[in-house]
Amino acid sequence: MNLTKSLTLNEDEMLLLDGKCTEENQKEINKIKEILNFGATSEFVGRALLSIKESGEFRWVSSHDMSTCLYCDNCPRGYQKYPRNGRHHRKGDSNHDKPYRYRGFTVNPAFVRFTGIAGCCPTCFGKFREEIFQKMREFDIKAQCKMHGYENEISKDEQRKCHNCKELMWTSEMRREPVMIGNGTFASECPHCKARSSTFGNSHHYTGEFRILEK
C-alpha cells in the first residue's frame, strides 16, 4: 500500500526527515539546510541568498500590488471603505472589490508573477537588502546586481578558454563584434592570438569560472 498525504511542516519538523525520505523531498530539505546555514534574521533573507547563489543574480523589483507585509505591521491586510451609503452597503463598510494594495519588493522574480500576495514593504526591504549584501560578502556569493533592469556596482565576468591557443581569458578582455541579427554585440576575439568565435564554427569554451567586477 502506498499512501500519500500533503502536510505543512516547519523547518525543525522537516529536518527530522533528513536522509529518511524520497529523493525529491530530500532536495527540498537540502535547500532548507542551506538557508538555515546562512544564519539570516528572516526567511526572506535566507531564501533570497539561496536564489542569488543559484542564479548568479540579485534582482529586486518594486510593484504596487502587495496585499500585506509579512515582516511588520505597517501594511495591514484589508479593504477600502465605502464613502457613502448604497443599496447593498452602508457608509464605512468594507468594499471587497477594492482590497488594500501596497508597494512591495520581490527578489529574483519568476517569469509568472502573481498580484495581491503578501510580500516585503520598502522599510523592511531596506533593512534586508543591507543584510543580504553583508551575507553575500561573508559567504563569498558572487552575483550581478540589478534594479528594474539597471545594472549597478557589480557585474559578472566569465572566464573562457580560446579554441585556438588554449589560453584563458576573461569576457571583459575580449574584443566585441556585432551580432548577425539585431543591434547587439558579443564577445568574440581572443586577446592573445586574435582568434574569433563563430556562430556556426569554432567558439571559445566557458570554463565555469567567473569573477566580479565593480563599476
Confirm whether 208 is domain-assigned: yes
Strands (E), the chain: 57-66, 79-81, 94-99, 102-107, 144-147, 150-151, 154-161, 168-170, 175-178, 185-189, 205-214
Structural domain including 207 reads: 155-215
CB 40, CB 46: distance < 8 Å: yes
Confirm whether 97 is domain-assigned: no
Tell me the three cell numbers of residue 141: 556569493
Judge whether residue 214 has pLDDT over 70: no
Q: What is the pLDDT of residues 119-165, one digit of tens each?
A: 899 999 999 999 999 999 999 998 877 765 433 445 678 899 999 99
3-class SS at 85?
coil
Q: How far apart are CA 180 and CA 5, in angstroms?
A: 53
Does this model's pTM top 0.85? Answer: no
Confirm whether 200 is domain-assigned: yes
193 pLDDT band (50/70/90 cuts)?
A: very high
The region of weakest confidence among 35-39, 194-198, 200-204 is 200-204
Grid cell 549597478 is found at 152
User: Count of domains in the chain?
Assistant: 1
